[in-house]
């Protein structure tokens, strides 16, 4: 295996990458849709938005690969960032740089690799949009052009921070090591402590700016039965796919997190109850639209959702909104499941 040499000006390149402030953040639909398109147009099993950090490559988005990062020494993308255009490997087993690479000899059994460099706004190469096949091959010119265009879209998104103001503040307060602990490793969403902080911050901002705020609690129906029937690994697959469908259905400035187990939370700024019910119904329908492939079976998955909202002049606390949404979720589950239920009221809790 031949690890890639560091590019010229490596320290400056890393500074450009770190200034993007995107490492170790949750998955976002705006990047996921690009990797889905890349895998589709290339006809490959795997597509990645890979960012080459000092000692690792970290995946902002991935299709066909569940890990969040790999060693930089084993990274194809660390080689690809040296090139002005795409790097093409038709058969990694015949390439002396990669023939004994652990990602070739073992899972994910890379054979074909095509990676197009992506750049920070200052022009520094920070990673790649790459497609990976498990059989030798290459891409025709039209597909190569499409991959180049999709890489350009990744660069546009890197230069357009769509996280909510609260999420940006959260990232700013967390050191790198702590930020990694704020992201749920299974679903690549914010975890419970992080989303609790976001609720408080968005609530304070809503009061300050005189805007409404809504919260939704989601619970996967009959999840214990799914685990008991198909196993915990199948349950993990289902939770990852539910998380992906949530991301595709919410607004770009909504925040989502895993509250714990099979329960998720949406934080919807500038959103009254009627609008929040519309967003929640879109999520419910997206989850239920088609079965989820858990390996040994295609299983139907449904969610129950409780929604609560507050006006800026309500005399409440963040915990009151959380309690109301959770209570609405309990009503959704107790009156039939697979439905969206609005909180009857939001009142101060003891």
Q: Pick the last residue of a domain from 96, 123, 158.
A: 158
Q: Are residues 59 and 191 in the same domain?
A: no
Contact 212, 277 (CB under 8 A): no
Which ranges of the chain would DSSP assign to H, the alpha helix? 10-19, 29-42, 77-80, 102-105, 141-158, 165-173, 176-181, 192-209, 223-230, 232-249, 273-288, 318-334
Q: Are residues 65 and 203 in the same domain?
A: no
**pLDDT value of residue 3:** 80
Q: Are residues 195 and 238 in the same domain?
A: yes
Q: Are residues 177 and 312 in the same domain?
A: yes
Question: Which residues are identified as catalytic?
Answer: 262
Q: DSSP secondary-structure letter at 183?
A: B
Q: Are residues 139 and 247 in the same domain?
A: no
Q: Are residues 246 and 263 in the same domain?
A: yes
Q: Are residues 151 and 107 in the same domain?
A: yes
Residue 349 lies in a domain: no
CATH of the domain at 63: 3.30.450.40
Flag whether the pTM goes above 0.75.
no
**pLDDT value of residue 162:** 59
Residue 86 lies in a domain: yes
Q: Pick the last residue of a domain from 130, 158, 186.
A: 158
Which regions of the chain are under pLDDT 70?
Answer: 1, 161-165, 168, 171-179, 350
Q: Are residues 139 and 233 in the same domain?
A: no
Q: Pick the last residue of a domain from 100, 127, 158.
A: 158
Q: Are residues 208 and 91 in the same domain?
A: no
Residue 151 lies in a domain: yes
**pLDDT value of residue 17:** 93
How many domains does one find in the chain?
2
Mapped onto helix, strand or coil, the DSSP state of residue 257 is strand
**pLDDT value of residue 314:** 87
Contact 129, 118 (CB under 8 A): yes
Q: Are residues 126 and 220 in the same domain?
A: no
Structural domain range at position 183: 165-342
Q: Are residues 236 and 258 in the same domain?
A: yes
**pLDDT value of residue 163:** 61
Residue 148 lies in a domain: yes
Residue 244 lies in a domain: yes
Residue 131 lies in a domain: yes
**pLDDT value of residue 236:** 95
Q: Are residues 138 and 202 in the same domain?
A: no
CATH of the domain at 201: 3.30.70.270
Residue located via tokens 């849709």: 33
């Amino acid at each position: 295996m031949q690890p890639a040499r560091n590019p010229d000006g490596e320290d400056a390149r890393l500074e450009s990458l770190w200034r993007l402030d995107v490492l170790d953040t949750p998955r976002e639909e705006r990047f996921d849709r690009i990797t889905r398109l890349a895998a589709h147009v290339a006809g490959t099993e795997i597509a990645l938005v890979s960012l080459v950090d000092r000692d690792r490559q970290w995946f902002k988005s991935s299709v066909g690969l569940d890990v969040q990062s790999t060693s930089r020494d084993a990274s194809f993308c660390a080689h690809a960032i040296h090139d002005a255009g795409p790097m093409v490997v038709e058969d990694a087993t015949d390439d002396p740089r990669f023939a004994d690479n652990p990602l070739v000899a073992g899972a994910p059994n890379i054979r074909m690799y095509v990676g197009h460099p992506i750049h920070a706004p200052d022009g520094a190469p920070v990673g790649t949009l790459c497609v990976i096949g498990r059989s030798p091959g290459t891409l025709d010119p039209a597909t190569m052009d499409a991959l180049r265009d999709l890489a350009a879209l990744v660069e546009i998104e890197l230069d357009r921070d769509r996280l909510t103001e609260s999420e940006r503040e959260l990232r700013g307060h967390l050191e790198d090591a702590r930020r990694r602990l704020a992201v749920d490793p299974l679903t690549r969403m914010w975890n419970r402590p992080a989303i609790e902080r976001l609720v408080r911050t968005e609530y304070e901002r809503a009061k300050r700016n005189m805007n409404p705020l809504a919260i939704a609690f989601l619970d996967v129906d009959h999840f214990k039965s799914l685990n008991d029937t198909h196993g915990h690994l199948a349950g993990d697959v289902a939770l990852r796919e539910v998380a992906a469908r949530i991301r595709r259905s919410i607004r770009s400035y909504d925040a989502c997190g895993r509250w714990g187990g099979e329960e998720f939370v949406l934080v919807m700024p500038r959103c009254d109850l009627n609008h929040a019910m519309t967003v929640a119904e879109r999520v419910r329908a997206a989850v239920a639209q088609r079965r989820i492939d858990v390996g040994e079976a295609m299983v139907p998955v449904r969610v129950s959702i409780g929604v609560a909202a507050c006006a800026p002049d309500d005399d409440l606390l963040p915990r009151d909104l959380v309690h109301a949404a959770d209570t609405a979720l309990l009503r959704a589950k107790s009156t039939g499941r697979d439905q969206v239920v609005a909180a009857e009221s939001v009142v101060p809790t003891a």
